[in-house]
């Protein structure tokens, strides 16, 4: 999300220079190519580029010397024990200490465990031998993939964790155009919703904790809905009726209660693990999050059980996987449930035909034994089952009458509860979903 942050800050009027360890990525950006699929990003990169507000360099030193404020947006992937790998942050700290020629505000944007800011401050001081007077702040991002640009311009809250008033002032100044809506947001072309974001100043550790606690809570909410969904199946209730009614209580809210294949992506799975791991380092057993993680892992087993039960014998069957991305409107397949489903079906000897509107290219390299199609109807041709793994709008609107004629068996196992069971059954399909009869 570093590129989104850079692009949006440039669009908001700041002078931004982006750097990355991947020189090829920088070359692409300089050539006007956008290396990730993110709605509106291409548009704002062009407009910020034309306004001369954003530039790119593979020379980290140049980028470090350029700005008064440096946002660190590097990855913090999980280590084998679930804790966050902070080596990229440490590497950037060494670069900043070596390359900076003046005082800088160094802002952690990456999701990091609490106390990272304190360690970062210590590291910057040590690496620079006390020079340059670096100040550290935490500014967690709450951007969802697919709507990241919109989320940046219309945040619910901007959280800044600081140690001194001056850092809070500087960050307020950076976010002022967004907080005060001083410019026309490119997402809504002048017709922005008028909710105002709160600017929250906290300690650095609180800011770091806010991010992990928020993401883990959302993941917990999804797992709760999934546990309720399993219960609905046993008791003959309908999970959508249950979660909808639950959500109308404003203390609960309707969002993030969609049952199905569970959560994936590069945030929830790793953040929940990192939070459990952080808690363990201070002697807290975060049991409730361990349970949420377990429930999520079991979603794949539950889905495969449904497939096996419906198909009887999986080996030799031709199955179509609709959706590979971890959610709709992104090409991101990191920790995507669909990939694990695909891996296990291939292992069982199924012939897998997969499609996705954006993520095909990324998935192809990882699965030489699977077949890939851009057109969902081609993937469904001759299939014994259609497996819905991502909630793409295109798949919601699929013409199942047409698809059914091309399939070898009219069976849908829906991991995202996209369709009305009654409608699909009227079309002659066997239809299996989560928490609904």
Residues labelled as active-site residues: 267
Angle at 174 between CA 173 and CA 178, to 5 degrees: 95
Binding segment for ligand UDX (CB under 6 A), chosen from 113-121, 177-185, 265-273, 310-318, is 265-273
Is residue 127 a contact point for ligand UDX (CB under 6 A)? Answer: no
Of the pair 17, 387, the CB lying nearest ligand UDX is at 387
60 neighbors 19 (Cβ within 8 angstroms): yes
Residue 423 Cβ, how far from ligand UDX at the closest point, in Å?
22
The whole-angstrom separation of Cα 137 and Cα 71 is: 9
Is residue 268 a contact point for ligand UDX (CB under 6 A)? Answer: yes
Is residue 262 a contact point for ligand UDX (CB under 6 A)? Answer: yes
Of the pair 136, 333, the CB lying nearest ligand UDX is at 333
Site residue total, ligand UDX (CB under 6 A): 20
The whole-angstrom separation of Cα 284 and Cα 362 is: 38
394 token code pair? 């295109």
Residue 142 Cβ, how far from ligand UDX at the closest point, in Å?
4
Is residue 265 a contact point for ligand UDX (CB under 6 A)? Answer: yes
Closest CA to 324 of 291, 355, 294, 297: 355
Burial class (CB in 10 A: 0-12, 13-18, 19+), 193: exposed
Residue 149 Cβ, how far from ligand UDX at the closest point, in Å?
12
Is residue 154 a contact point for ligand UDX (CB under 6 A)? Answer: no
Is residue 143 a contact point for ligand UDX (CB under 6 A)? Answer: yes
Binder among 224, 263, 275, 434 for ligand UDX (CB under 6 A): 263
261 neighbors 415 (Cβ within 8 angstroms): yes
24 token code pair? 């090829």
Q: Which of residues 52-111 bind ligand UDX (CB under 6 A)?
A: none
Binding segment for ligand UDX (CB under 6 A), chosen from 199-207, 252-260, 316-324, 394-402, is 252-260
Of the pair 318, 327, the CB lying nearest ligand UDX is at 327
Helix axes 337-347 and 287-311, enclosed angle (nearest 10): 50
Binding segment for ligand UDX (CB under 6 A), chosen from 54-62, 137-145, 178-186, 228-236, is 137-145
Binder among 11, 20, 108, 145 for ligand UDX (CB under 6 A): 145
Is residue 327 a contact point for ligand UDX (CB under 6 A)? Answer: yes
345 neighbors 324 (Cβ within 8 angstroms): no
Of the pair 144, 343, the CB lying nearest ligand UDX is at 144
141 neighbors 131 (Cβ within 8 angstroms): no
Residue 78 pairs in a beta bridge with: 84
Is residue 141 a contact point for ligand UDX (CB under 6 A)? Answer: yes
84 neighbors 112 (Cβ within 8 angstroms): yes
Closest CA to 123 of 90, 81, 171: 90
Of the pair 222, 359, the CB lying nearest ligand UDX is at 222
Is residue 257 a contact point for ligand UDX (CB under 6 A)? Answer: yes
Dihedral-angle region of residue 189 (phi above 0 means left; psi in -120 to 50 means alpha; beta otherwise): left
Q: Which of residues 216-245 bind ligand UDX (CB under 6 A)?
A: 218, 222
- Chain centroid offset of residue 413 CA: 24
Is residue 142 a contact point for ligand UDX (CB under 6 A)? Answer: yes
Is residue 384 a contact point for ligand UDX (CB under 6 A)? Answer: no
Binder among 66, 217, 256, 286 for ligand UDX (CB under 6 A): 256
Total residues belonging to the chain = 437
Instruction: Identify the sign of the CA torsion 244, 249, 254, 257.
Output: negative
Angle at 21 between CA 186 and CA 86, to 5 degrees: 95
Is residue 258 a contact point for ligand UDX (CB under 6 A)? Answer: yes
3-class DSSP state of 254: coil
Binding segment for ligand UDX (CB under 6 A), chosen from 26-34, 139-147, 351-359, 372-380, is 139-147
> Site residues (CB under 6 A) for ligand UDX?
141-145, 215, 218, 222, 256-258, 260, 262-265, 267-268, 326-327
């Amino acid at each position: 999300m570093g590129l989104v942050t850079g692009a949006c800050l440039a669009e908001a009027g700041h002078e931004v220079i982006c750097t990355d360890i991947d020189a090829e990525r920088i070359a692409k950006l300089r050539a006007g190519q956008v290396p990730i699929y993110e709605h509106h990003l291409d548009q704002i990169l062009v407009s910020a580029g034309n306004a001369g507000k954003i530039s790119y360099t593979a020379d980290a030193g140049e980028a470090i010397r350029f700005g008064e404020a440096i946002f660190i947006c590097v990855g913090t992937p999980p280590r084998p024990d679930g804790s966050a790998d902070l080596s990229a942050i440490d590497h950037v700290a060494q670069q900043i200490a070596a390359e900076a020629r003046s005082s800088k505000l160094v802002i952690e944007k990456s999701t990091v465990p609490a106390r990272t800011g304190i360690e970062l401050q210590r590291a910057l001081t040590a690496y620079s031998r006390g020079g340059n007077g670096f100040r550290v702040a935490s500014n967690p991002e709450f951007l969802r993939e697919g709507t990241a640009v919109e989320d940046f311009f219309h945040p619910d809250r901007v959280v800044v964790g600081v140690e001194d008033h001056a850092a809070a002032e500087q960050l307020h100044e950076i976010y002022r155009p967004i907080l005060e809506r001083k410019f026309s947001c490119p997402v809504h072309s002048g017709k922005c919703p008028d909710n105002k974001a709160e600017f929250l100043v906290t300690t650095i550790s609180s800011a770091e904790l806010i991010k992990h606690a928020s993401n883990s809570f959302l993941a917990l909410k999804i797992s709760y809905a999934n546990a309720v969904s399993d219960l609905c199946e046993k008791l003959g209730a309908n999970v959508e009726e249950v979660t909808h009614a639950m959500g109308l209580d404003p203390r609960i809210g309707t969002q993030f209660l969609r049952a199905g294949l569970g959560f994936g992506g590069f945030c929830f799975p790793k953040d929940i693990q990192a939070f459990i791991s952080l808690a363990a380092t201070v002697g807290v057993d975060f049991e409730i999050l361990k349970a949420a993680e377990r429930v999520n892992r079991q979603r794949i087993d539950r889905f495969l059980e449904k497939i096996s039960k419906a198909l009887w014998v999986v080996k030799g069957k031709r199955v179509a996987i609709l959706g590979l991305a971890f959610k709709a409107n992104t090409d991101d397949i990191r920790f995507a449930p669909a990939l694990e489903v695909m891996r296990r079906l291939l292992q069982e000897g199924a012939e897998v035909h997969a499609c996705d509107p954006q993520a095909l290219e990324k998935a192809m390299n990882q699965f030489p034994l699977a077949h890939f199609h851009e057109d969902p109807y081609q993937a469904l041709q001759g299939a014994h089952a259609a497996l819905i793994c991502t909630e793409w709008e295109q798949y919601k609107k699929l013409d199942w009458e047409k698809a059914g004629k091309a399939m070898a068996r009219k069976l849908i196992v829906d991991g995202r509860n996209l369709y009305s069971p009654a409608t699909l059954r009227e079309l002659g399909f066997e239809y299996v979903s989560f928490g609904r009869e």
